[in-house]
Structure 1
Amino acid sequence: MYQQQENHKFLSHFKRKFLIKRGRRGLTKNLGGKWPELFQMRANGSSVCNRTIQVDCQSNQLCSAFCHMLRIPFKEIDDVGHRGVVYVWFGKDSDPREHEFARQVASDLVVRDDDDDFRIVDVREGEENEEFWRVLGGKKKYETDSSFVKHTRLFRCTNEKGYFAVSEKTVDFCQDDLDDDDIMILDNGDAVFLWIGARSSDIEAKLSYQAAQVYHASLRMKANEKPRKFMLAVRGHESCRFRKCFHAWSKMKEPMG
């Protein structure tokens, strides 16, 4: 079982309070927690698949569709005895029913065992203070269009069994589902992307291109579907419109072999 590819049975034991932090083995507790940390809470498909994942501590990582937690340790204890603060940021398009749960996640998981004197502060999008933006490196452009959440679909194109086939991935997909041996089709509601794996074959590329065209044409025939652009996504140079469909996107791993 790999990170962000956990099955429903495994995730159900955590009752939606599943936190993934950056780090490595051997990193002592004394070295961690001394700098600001940003987390994004997001559920793909079923609410059981709710994960809170640490992302780059930059304002361009925010998304209006979700709740975020910004943990800020103070260099010195403030006047009322607090050693830090955790801002729980509610995106304008986030589900109001998730706000209280986001506070619980911040209190139970983001705040460390020795952070009893950290205060938790609710922040709604558009009501941020100067400290919030300063810690995130200044206010930058971030994703404010949340429509992609309702439309995102990922398809895998492969001929690994001796014949070409296109299959839709589960809605709980992640970046690691982008297989270098295959070609993927991603629909985010605004565009249909054709993503080509580093080790995919020429015949796969040709057939996948045709399959993507058929899918794109079928969407145009549906009256209730808005028109999509047809675009190519280059591995390692994916646009923000592509990356936003994946929870906690990070630098692509180099293909082995």
Structure 2
Amino acid sequence: MISDKSPFSQSMLDAGNVYIISNVDAEQIFVWKGKAASVDEKKESMKIASDFIKKEGLSRHAKITVMSQFSETALFKMMFDNWVSLNAQQGLGEVWSINKIAKVAKVDFDASTLHTRPDLAAKHQLPDNGSGTVKIWRVEGSDKALVPRSEYGQFYGGDCYIIFYSYQPRGRQEHIIYYWIGSKATADEVAAVAILTIGTDEEECGGQATQVRVTQNKEPPHMMLLFGGKPMIIHAGGTSRIGGQTAAASTRLFHVRSGFTERCRAIEVEAVCSSLNSNDAFLLVTPNESYAWAGLGASETEKRECKELAQTLGAPAPEDVDEGSETNAFFDLIGGKMTYCNQPRMENETVSPRLFECSDASGNFVIEPVVGEWCQDDLNTDNVMMLDAWSAVYLWIGRESSPNEQSRSQQAAEDYLNSDPSSRDNSTPIYKVQQGSEPMSFKGFFQGWDHHLWAN
């Protein structure tokens, strides 16, 4: 069944089967396992979901969430019309029971149910505040190894991780397993992490956990809350496994940016001046000292987190460097002064940037929004991407995009501006940007921009 609404009813889910339900626009795949489904069906569900992503041509960042019957997430429930949870209290005290008739005692309405409103949890993908218990493993070949608690929140691009989270939102234990895939992890470990996640689910909670596939730099807001208030740190490549560590560079630069939860992500980037961005804060670590560089548009949270980041990395307490007050010695540490993204967003600006994908792969020219937090990997080289930065619109031309996509996207951008209900200025500039030749003003919208991603 395909629909632009929520056409499903809860009665369609049979406890003896496994179902795959997708929201293609949001690149979300849900795998629902009925209580009475066979073991083989449950084991095959992840493979089928992965094959579905390839068949539908979805991004490799598409999120797969696996859950068992009666452990459904709020976001999943929003896919159904009038979902009723097991023993859920309604109105003045009626309790609904699934597939049975029960004698129900009338009780006062419990105001705490407001904290688990599916619409709010779905909007921000926040099942709770992250104060539950966390356990993390690193994938090593076909096995997994516990990560020391002192290293929680640090991830390496050459590794894959399993993050097991337990919490009690409604007086009963619930579980989420995030399995994180580094951008430079080996193909064998990428395959192993999905299998090990299923095994971890069975070992830790009898297969009742919600499983969430996460790729590097696409971490959901809730996952960012699980590290005790510390920033999430993503090291460039390498691995943290014992005996396999990659030696860190003598000079390192971390791009620090906060999300709407006020938790920060720190991504290691190339230690050159062109990596700086006036909208954010950066931590520069050298063999003898460290510096917390604050762009004109950096928030107080980002500035503060630079100091926390230095402490976590075991670097000296950083010296504060405000944009515009840098010394030549500072720039010498990052290869000399050169152009970088130095156009800070205004503090009173309330409109968030939006990214769209323009494609004619289906035979028709269509424009689809890229939902959630996006990164450089979301720029599809087969298509044209449109970035609405409010003060300007960028058309990013992928090298493999078709002539039709390139010509139609220009007119589409003009129509987009003219039809904006907020009465946009029709003189808003439209920039056409070629893949590999992006200006700094464009790169600045993508945290941790990799200047060499498309070099080959």
Q: Identify the TM-score tier after normalising by the shorter chain.
A: 0.7 to 0.9
Give the structure 2 partner of residue 200 of structure 1. 401
* Distance of 1:72 and 1:131 partners within structure 2: 12
- 5+ residue gaps, structure 2, are 1-213
- Residue 70 (structure 2) pairs with residue 70 (structure 1): no
Determine helix, strand or coil for the equivalent of 2:256: strand
Equivalent AA in structure 2 for residue 31 of structure 1: A
2:428 to 210, 213, 228: 228
Instruction: Quote the residue 2:221 is aligned against.
Output: 8
Aligned to 1:170: 371
Q: Secondary structure at the match of 1:104?
A: helix
SS of match in other structure, 1:88: strand
Q: CA deviation at 1:48?
A: 5.8
> Normalization by structure 1: what TM-score?
0.77
Which of 1 and 2 has higher RCO (CA within 8 Å, sep 6+)?
1
Per the TM alignment, residue 254 of structure 1 is displaced from its structure 2 partner at its CA by: 7.0
Give me the CA root mean square deviation: 3.1
Paired position in structure 2 for 1:87: 291
Aligned partners of 1:153 and 1:171 also within 8 Å: no
For 2:248, the equivalent position in structure 1 comes to: 32
Structure 2 distance, partners of 1:9, 1:37, is 27
- Asked if residue 17 in structure 1 is aligned to residue 231 in structure 2, the reply is yes
Q: Which runs of 5+ in 1 are unaligned?
A: 74-83
Residues 32/49 of structure 1: CA separation in 2 closer, same or farther (3 Å cut): same
1:51 CA drift (Å): 1.5
- Does the alignment pair 1:124 with 2:338? no
Contact 2:291 2:319 in 1 (8 A): yes
Checking the alignment, whether the CA contact within 8 Å between 2:359 and 2:365 is kept in structure 1 is yes
The answer as to whether partners of 2:417 and 2:426 remain within 8 angstroms in 1 is: no
Deviations 1:37-57 (A, max 9, x none): 11110135x236732111221
TM-score when normalising by structure 2: 0.46
Counterpart in the other structure of 1:242: 442
- Looking at structure 2, the residues matched to 134 and 123 of structure 1 have their Cα atoms a distance apart, in angstroms, of 14
Question: C-alpha displacement at 1:155, in angstroms?
Answer: 0.8
Question: In the alignment, which of 395, 400, 412 is matched to residue 211 of structure 1?
Answer: 412
Is contact 2:297–2:345 with CA below 8 Å preserved after alignment? no
Provide the residue aligned with 1:145 in structure 2.
343
Q: Quick one: percent identity of the two aligned structures?
A: 28
| CA displacement at 1:2 relative to structure 2 | 1.9
Aligned to 1:79: none
Partner deviation per Cα, 1:78-101 (whole Å, 9 max, x = no partner):
xxxxxx212111222211243223
CA distance in 1, matches of 2:405, 2:445: 24
Which residue is 2:202 aligned to? none
Per-residue deviation, 1:210: 2.6
Question: Contact 2:283 / 2:292 at 8 angstroms: preserved in 1?
Answer: yes
Output the CA distance in 2 between the equivalents of 1:166 and 1:124: 40
Aligned residues of 2:293 and 2:320 also touching (Cα < 8 A) = yes
Aligned residue pairs: how many?
A: 236
Q: 1:139 to 1:238 in 2, by over 3 A?
A: closer
Cα distance change, pair 160–209 in 1 and its aligned pair in 2 (3 A) = same
Q: Is the 8 A contact 1:16 1:47 kept in 2?
A: no
| Contact kept in structure 1, 2:232 and 2:264, CA below 8 Å | yes
Deviations 1:61-94 (A, max 9, x none): 2222211100010xxxxxxxxxx21211122221
Partner of 1:43: 258
The structural deviation recorded for 1:231 is 2.1
